[in-house]
């Protein structure tokens, strides 16, 4: 802290399951700016099974770039900044390198309590290993399912069910069964019993499992038949993820010693950052963030002041591609390819990517397959996110901003490829700004905001976004080739561009990131540009981006041609129309 | 620059830390010489849980099952001890007996929860070598010398046996005729694996383990269902085994080899170890080291998967790759003279 009190220089790192990102923020001409950023493989599970070693390596790579020492002779972070300029004033960290919480869901009914528990789990860093519907399952089958839990190496037994003041016998009996089941295991191997059901049963369950299971209680997820309350359960699952998973990572304690503030879970930090952006930029329709990493996919939507989250554990472009194939099949991934690639070849590419998750594509096949995986990971998980909205996902995908992050999107060789991937994956409607976390630093900024909000704001404003452009996408479908949208774009310098975009096509109109223009749109009578009525046109002022204005007249929902060759040609054409 | 650990070394020191899953007793001391079967530590682990549906077994309803119970919750029971019985007529008696010694955990709605007695877990040395470190109550580290190859993928636990090459070329598929009864107990080496019959035959003939360069993607799920130890050195597809490794295996044919298909210990790599009698002083521990010009490297991403070359230069700035991305990397000269730019993350150091 060269000035004595104020934080001037900040190191912020995010330790992901595949890569560790470090960035240095510092004051440049009185304003906080991103000075440098580096990416190195995370050091977990290998010969250097200690995440702090990866952070050290990241800092060692930063040092020659910034011409400044960050690590002392003992390889510890130099804190605070010395008068000589070595070190930094603050060190902040976020982490998502841990495996997800392994959960079993025990609920009374499949359609109510278990449904709510599933929703809560989808927003937390969990993977559901087993579900037991206590109510509708025959006695012997239920007992077998419960007995099988002991072999499943669970972190959490999440028990839900019953409206408050409803019957409690089944829940109490299950608690007694669980206590007996786990009594013989060492304490460290027993899961936490998290109860989010009928509050009448809390005390008797506590008595049944006392001394055997770590018992925690949160608000009933279904206090009444038509009331759902997931907030407290979500918070407790987040807490458990920290306690059970993050805290036990090799090197986490050391990282914590370096940190100026407690380490945040990456998804918590990213959530905070997105809510901040939504408020600061006054985005009435909110922001949707698609974060597709090597092992996990995280979808976040901040709209109307609320944050909705869906965590896809083990769904990603590298290690996570295997589960993606298991869930959706290789054909669903291949449908997004602009080139011919047999199922066998595609499968081999994905398997190799999962074996060596730090690798990067070197062939067009490998590259396009990676972006196909991104699309599919988002498509598969988007429904889980939408189910969390107040209208349970019936409203169209209208967002002011669609934000992409994760290795594949951040390192896209062409911005058009990243833009097309965002459009295909999210399929937004109306006008949406497309941005990328090009420096992989949004979570770190979420952590920085807690100790230096001004630094987070200034860096975010100036260096945080790669602005791809604005996409206009109408709802509805009309026959291919039909004039779908008549566009008039009036630039500030007086130029006017008029064009008709046919259905089934994507058109790009250059408009720089600092340029503004007035956009006038007249849609086909069957297409709605987000104004609530098909055929209704409108006029608005827009700001551009690296790609400019993208008019996506492919319709919503997006329909890919059935014929494989026609589909490939179509995707290749869309790609050509977006790539510079 | 990120340090790299060598993925294959023809002669190196190998240190393997073996730890108990639960605290227990360590039976060796630093300096002890051990053989693979020697027990170095032991621990008592909880027994398995068994569920008995008394109602169904005795032909009563769930509520009346309690009356047929002949034990109390918490009671210890010997093997074949009577848990519950019901006599319907003089000559017709139904009984439920304990499958092993254990304890009755409880009875719930006609089901009895029984936990078998604790079992003793013996941790073996796995490799012939010397104990160099003790972890009190948890285990020990064994040091050996020999050839070491990490796999890109593996499955099926540990296997050991004499090393036998079933093929003549590193690209030659391991077909089912290559697997013979004479290979029983051997670690069998093939170039690639694309025939499920070879796997079934290896299991049938009790081959101790398979080592191949690559495996057909469709066969991976099959291997995951079988208890046959398998190690894949390059990856999934049809890439041949790296020539240097294949030649090393040829030289070591007939020697004892130790294959760990599933991640052994803390490093998490499937691996093949061939102990070689070399003085410890003449070998070095393979430690991660920075990539340097002149080092031999293996390329790990298609279309170059499995190719080997030598680093000729390491540009400090990111370079543009063939598909337009920017990455830090190395220029690598392949054995055929071609020089390629390869991203650092797509390289592995050899030896």
- Considering only CB atoms, A143 lies closest to which of B73, B111, B322, namely B111
> What pLDDT does residue B264 have?
43
pTM: 0.89
> What pLDDT does residue A4 have?
45
- Asked whether the beta carbons of residue A344 and residue B217 sit closer than 8 angstroms, the reply is yes
Interstrand relation of A126-133 and A401-405 (parallel, antiparallel or unpaired): unpaired
CB B258 within 8 A of CB B229: no
CA dist A84 and A68 (Å) reads 9
DSSP readout, B216-243?
A: -GGGHHHHHHS---EEEEEEESSPPPPH
- Asked whether the beta carbons of residue B2 and residue A147 sit closer than 8 angstroms, the reply is no
CB A349 within 8 A of CB A333: no
- Asked whether the beta carbons of residue B325 and residue A413 sit closer than 8 angstroms, the reply is yes
> What pLDDT does residue B98 have?
93
pLDDT mean across residues, chain A: 92
**Segment A496-509, tens digit of pLDDT:** 999 999 999 999 99
Chain A nearest CA to B216, separation (Å)? 8
CB B259 within 8 A of CB B153: no
CB B97 within 8 A of CB B80: yes
Question: Would you say domain A101-246 falls under CATH 2.60.120.10?
Answer: no
- B316: three-class secondary structure by DSSP: coil
User: CB atoms < 10 A from the CB of A481, how many?
Assistant: 10
CA distances from A461 to A276, A291, A406, A445, B9 (A): 12, 20, 20, 11, 50
- Four-point Cα dihedral A10, A16, A20, A22, nearest 10: -20
Residue A128: CB partners within 8 Å, gap ≥ 6?
A: A103, A104, A105, A118, A121
Which of A514, A108, A393, A444 has its CA nearest to residue A268?
A444
User: Bridge-partner residues for A489, per DSSP?
Assistant: A497, A519
> What pLDDT does residue B279 have?
65
Chain A nearest CA to B181, separation (Å)? 31
- Asked whether the beta carbons of residue A362 and residue B2 sit closer than 8 angstroms, the reply is no
**Segment A177-236, tens digit of pLDDT:** 999 999 989 998 999 999 999 999 999 999 999 999 999 999 999 999 888 899 999 999
Q: A466: pLDDT confidence band, cut at 50, 70 and 90?
A: very high
ipTM of the complex: 0.85
For CATH 3.30.420.40, list the domain ranges present in chain A. 10-97
Q: Report yes or no: B290 at the A interface, CB cutoff 8 Å.
A: no
- Check residue B266 and report its DSSP letter: G
Q: Report yes or no: B25 at the A interface, CB cutoff 8 Å.
A: no
- Give me the sign of the Cα torsion angle A404, A410, A412, A415: positive
DSSP readout, A149-175?
A: GGGG--SEEEEEE--TTS--HHHHHHH
Chain A residue with CA closest to B342: the answer is: A362
User: CB atoms < 10 A from the CB of A516, how many?
Assistant: 14
Which of A349, A360, A363, A579 to mutate to probe the B interface, most B CBs <10 Å?
A360
Find tokens 């995010």 and name the residue. A14
CA distances from B262 to A30, A319, B4, B222, B249 (A): 55, 16, 22, 15, 20
CA dist B314 and B317 (Å) reads 9
- A335: three-class secondary structure by DSSP: coil
CA dist B94 and A335 (Å) reads 60
Which of A551, A522, A552, A527 has its CA nearest to residue A537?
A522
CATH superfamily of A10-97: ATPase, nucleotide binding domain (3.30.420.40)
Which of A448, A436, A371 has its CA nearest to residue A405?
A436
Chain A nearest CA to B99, separation (Å)? 17
**Segment A405-423, tens digit of pLDDT:** 999 999 999 999 999 999 9
CA dist A554 and A479 (Å) reads 10
- Asked whether the beta carbons of residue A140 and residue B53 sit closer than 8 angstroms, the reply is yes
CB B17 within 8 A of CB B141: yes
Which of B277, B291, B212 has its CA nearest to residue B6?
B291
Cis peptide upstream of residue B279 (ω within 30 degrees of 0): no
User: Bridge-partner residues for A507, per DSSP?
Assistant: A551
> What pLDDT does residue A106 have?
95
Judging contacts by C-beta atoms under 8 Å, the chain A residues touching residue B2 are 40-41, 57
- Asked whether the beta carbons of residue A363 and residue B302 sit closer than 8 angstroms, the reply is yes
First to last CA, chain A: 44
Share of chain A above pLDDT 70, in %: 99
- Considering only CB atoms, B237 lies closest to which of A348, A358, A367, namely A348
Q: Report yes or no: B291 at the A interface, CB cutoff 8 Å.
A: no
CA dist A148 and A186 (Å) reads 17
For CATH 3.40.50.2300, list the domain ranges present in chain A. 101-246
Structure tokens at A382: 């988007």
Which of B2, B104, B297, B332 to mutate to probe the A interface, most A CBs <10 Å?
B2
CA dist B344 and A358 (Å) reads 9
- Four-point Cα dihedral B261, B265, B267, B268, nearest 10: 40
CA distances from A347 to A89, A142, A433, B177 (A): 47, 37, 34, 27
User: Bridge-partner residues for B239, per DSSP?
Assistant: none
Interstrand relation of A101-107 and A156-161 (parallel, antiparallel or unpaired): parallel
Q: Rounded to the nearest 5 degrees, what angle is found at the Cα of A48, between the Cα atoms of A44 and A51?
A: 45
**Segment A287-340, tens digit of pLDDT:** 999 999 999 999 999 988 888 999 998 899 998 998 899 888 899 999 999 999
Q: A565: pLDDT confidence band, cut at 50, 70 and 90?
A: very high
CB B193 within 8 A of CB B155: no
- Considering only CB atoms, A186 lies closest to which of B46, B109, B325, namely B46
> What pLDDT does residue B3 have?
61
- Asked whether the beta carbons of residue B49 and residue A184 sit closer than 8 angstroms, the reply is yes
Domains along chain B with CATH numbers: 3-14+144-280 (3.50.30), 49-117 (2.40.50), 291-349 (2.30.30.30)
Q: Which of residues 230-269 of B touch A (CB under 8 A)?
A: 235-237, 266-269
Interstrand relation of B139-150 and B8-19 (parallel, antiparallel or unpaired): antiparallel
CB B134 within 8 A of CB B147: no
SS3 per-residue string spanning A456-519: HHHHHHHHCCEEEEEEEECEECCCCCCEEEEEEEEECCCCEEEEEEECCCEEEECCCCCCEEEE
Structure tokens at A182: 């786990």
CA dist B213 and B337 (Å) reads 23
> What pLDDT does residue B283 have?
60
Residue A67: CB partners within 8 Å, gap ≥ 6?
A: none
Find tokens 């058009």 and name the residue. A416
Chain A residue with CA closest to B304: the answer is: A362
Find tokens 């404003």 and name the residue. A461
Chain A nearest CA to B77, separation (Å)? 15
**Per-residue b/e over B189-224, b at no fewer than 16 CB within 10 Å?**
bbbbbbbeebbebbeebebbbbbbbbbbbebbeebe
- B277: three-class secondary structure by DSSP: coil
CB A126 within 8 A of CB A89: no
φ/ψ (deg, to 5) at B166: -95, -5
**Segment A305-316, tens digit of pLDDT:** 888 999 998 899
Residue B202: CB partners within 8 Å, gap ≥ 6?
A: B179, B183, B188, B210, B228
Chain B nearest CA to A59, separation (Å)? 10
φ/ψ (deg, to 5) at B301: -130, 140
**Segment A232-264, tens digit of pLDDT:** 999 999 999 999 999 999 999 999 999 999 999
Q: Report yes or no: B62 at the A interface, CB cutoff 8 Å.
A: yes
Which of B96, B103, B113, B285 to mutate to probe the A interface, most A CBs <10 Å?
B113
Structure tokens at A404: 């992409």
Structure tokens at A489: 């774009």
Chain A and chain B share a number of CB contacts under 8 A equal to: 144
- In terms of Cβ atoms closer than 10 Å to its own Cβ (0-12, 13-18, 19+), residue A442 is buried
- Region label for B265, one of left (φ > 0), alpha (ψ between -120 and 50) or beta (otherwise): left
> What pLDDT does residue B266 have?
42
Rounded (10°) angle between helices A113-122 and A364-387: 140
Chain B nearest CA to A177, separation (Å)? 7
CA distances from A310 to A385, A389, A411 (A): 5, 11, 23
Res A2 pLDDT > 50: no
> What pLDDT does residue A391 have?
78
Q: Which of residues 107-136 of B touch A (CB under 8 A)?
A: 108-111, 113, 115
Helix (H) or strand (E) segment spanning residue B149 = strand B139-150
> What pLDDT does residue B287 have?
64
Which of B68, B72, B79 has its CA nearest to residue B116?
B79
- Asked whether the beta carbons of residue B301 and residue A183 sit closer than 8 angstroms, the reply is no
> What pLDDT does residue B289 have?
73
- Asked whether the beta carbons of residue A49 and residue B267 sit closer than 8 angstroms, the reply is yes
Chain B nearest CA to A527, separation (Å)? 37
Which of A38, A40, A184 to mutate to probe the B interface, most B CBs <10 Å?
A184
Helix (H) or strand (E) segment spanning residue A330 = helix A330-334
> What pLDDT does residue B288 have?
67
Residue A371: CB partners within 8 Å, gap ≥ 6?
A: A336, A408, A412, A417, A421
CA dist B22 and A304 (Å) reads 50
Which of A18, A5, A23 has its CA nearest to residue A448?
A23
Rounded (10°) angle between helices A564-578 and A415-426: 130
**Mean pLDDT per 10-residue section of chain B, whose length is 351 residues:** 74 89 94 95 93 89 85 93 83 87 91 93 92 95 92 91 96 96 97 96 96 95 92 93 93 94 63 83 65 91 90 92 90 94 91 69
Chain A residue with CA closest to B109: the answer is: A139
């Amino acid at each position: 802290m060269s000035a004595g009190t104020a934080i001037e220089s900040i190191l912020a790192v995010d330790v992901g399951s595949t890569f560790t990102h470090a960035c240095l923020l510092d004051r440049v001409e009185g304003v906080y700016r991103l000075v440098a950023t580096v990416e190195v493989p995370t050091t977990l599970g290998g010969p250097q099974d200690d995440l702090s070693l990866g952070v050290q390596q990241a800092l060692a790579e930063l040092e020659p770039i910034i011409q400044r020492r960050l690590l002392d002779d003992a390889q510890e972070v130099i804190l605070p900044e010395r008068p000589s300029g070595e070190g930094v004033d603050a060190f902040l960290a976020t982490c998502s390198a841990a495996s997800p919480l392994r959960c079993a869901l025990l609920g009374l009914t499949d359609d109510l309590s278990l449904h709510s528990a599933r929703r809560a789990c989808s927003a937390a860093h969990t993977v559901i290993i087993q579900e037991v519907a206590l109510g509708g399952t025959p006695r012997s089958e239920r007992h077998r399912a419960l007995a099988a839990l002991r072999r499943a190496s669970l972190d959490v037994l999440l028990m839900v069910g019953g409206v408050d003041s409803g019957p409690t016998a089944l829940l109490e009996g299950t608690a007694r069964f669980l206590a007996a089941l786990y009594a013989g295991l060492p304490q460290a191997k027993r899961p936490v019993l998290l109860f989010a059901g009928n509050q009448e049963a809390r005390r008797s369950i506590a008595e049944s499992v006392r001394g055997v299971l770590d018992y925690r209680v949160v608000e009933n997820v279904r206090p009444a038949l038509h009331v759902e309350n997931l907030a407290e359960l979500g918070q407790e699952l987040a807490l458990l993820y920290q306690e059970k998973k993050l805290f036990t990572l090799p090197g986490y304690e050391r990282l914590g010693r370096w940190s100026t503030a407690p380490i945040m879970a990456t998804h918590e930090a990213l959530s905070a950052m997105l809510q901040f952006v939504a408020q600061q930029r006054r985005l009435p329709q909110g922001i949707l963030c698609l974060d597709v990493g090597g092992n996990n996919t995280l979808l976040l939507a901040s709209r109307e002041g609320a944050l909705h989250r869906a965590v896809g554990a083990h769904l990603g472009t590298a290690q996570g591609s295997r589960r993606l194939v298991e869930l959706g099949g290789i054909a669903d991934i291949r449908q997004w390819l602009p080139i011919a690639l047999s199922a066998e070849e595609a499968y081999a590419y994905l398997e190799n990517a999962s074996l060596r998750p730090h690798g990067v594509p070197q062939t067009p096949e490998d590259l396009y397959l990676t972006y196909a995986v991104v699309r599919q990971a988002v498509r598969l998980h988007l429904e889980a996110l939408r189910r969390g909205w107040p209208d349970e996902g019936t409203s169209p995908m209208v967002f002011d901003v669609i934000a992409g992050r994760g290795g594949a999107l951040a390192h896209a060789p062409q911005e058009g490829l990243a833009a097309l991937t965002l459009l295909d994956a999210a399929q937004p409607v109306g006008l949406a700004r497309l941005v990328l976390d090009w420096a992989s630093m949004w979570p770190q900024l979420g952590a920085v905001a807690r100790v230096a909000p001004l630094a987070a704001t200034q860096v975010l404003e100036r260096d945080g976004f790669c602005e791809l452009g604005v996409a206009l996408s109408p709802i509805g479908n009309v026959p291919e080739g039909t004039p779908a949208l008549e566009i008039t774009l009036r630039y500030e310098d007086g130029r006017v561009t008029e064009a008709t975009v046919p259905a089934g096509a994507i058109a790009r109109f250059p408009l720089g990131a600092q340029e503004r223009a007035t956009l006038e749109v007249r849609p086909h009578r069957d297409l709605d540009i987000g104004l609530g009525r098909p055929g209704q046109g409108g006029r608005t002022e827009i700001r551009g981006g690296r790609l400019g204005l993208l008019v996506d007249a492919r319709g919503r929902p997006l329909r890919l041609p059935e014929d494989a060759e026609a589909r490939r040609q179509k995707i290749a054409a869309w790609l050509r129309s977006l790539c510079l | 620059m990120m340090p790299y650990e060598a993925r294959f070394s023809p002669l190196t020191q190998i240190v393997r830390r073996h730890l108990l899953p639960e605290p227990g007793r360590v039976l060796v001391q630093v300096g002890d010489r051990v053989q693979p079967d020697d027990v170095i530590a032991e621990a008592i682990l909880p027994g398995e849980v068994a569920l008995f549906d008394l109602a169904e077994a005795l032909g009563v309803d769930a509520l009346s099952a309690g009356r047929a119970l002949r034990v109390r919750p918490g009671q210890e029971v010997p093997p074949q001890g009577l848990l519950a019985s019901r006599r319907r007529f003089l000559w017709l008696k139904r009984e439920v007996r304990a499958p092993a010694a254990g304890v009755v955990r409880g009875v719930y709605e006609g089901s009895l929860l029984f936990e078998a007695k604790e079992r003793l877990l013996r941790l073996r040395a796995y490799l012939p070598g010397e104990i160099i470190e003790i972890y009190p109550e948890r285990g020990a580290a064994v040091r050996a010398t020999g050839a070491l190859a990490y796999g890109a993928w593996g499955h099926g636990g540990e296997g050991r046996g004499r090393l036998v090459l079933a093929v003549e070329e590193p690209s030659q598929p391991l077909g089912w005729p290559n697997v013979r009864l004479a290979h029983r107990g051997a670690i069998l080496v093939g170039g690639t694996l694309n025939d499920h019959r070879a796997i079934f035959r290896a299991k049938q003939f009790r081959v101790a383990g398979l080592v191949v360069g690559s495996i057909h993607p469709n066969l991976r799920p099959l291997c995951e269902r079988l208890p046959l130890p398998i190690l894949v050195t390059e990856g999934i597809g049809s890439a041949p085994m790296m020539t240097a490794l294949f030649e090393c295996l040829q030289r070591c044919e007939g020697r004892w080899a130790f294959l760990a298909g599933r991640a052994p210990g803390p490093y998490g790599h499937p691996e093949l170890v061939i102990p070689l009698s070399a003085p410890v002083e003449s070998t070095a521990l393979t430690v991660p080291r920075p990539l340097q010009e002149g080092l031999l490297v293996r390329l790990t991403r298609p279309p170059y998967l499995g190719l080997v070359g030598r680093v000729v230069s390491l540009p400090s700035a990111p370079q543009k790759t063939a598909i337009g991305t920017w990455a830090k990397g190395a220029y690598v000269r392949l054995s055929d003279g071609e020089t390629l730019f390869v991203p650092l993350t797509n390289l592995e150091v050899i030896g």
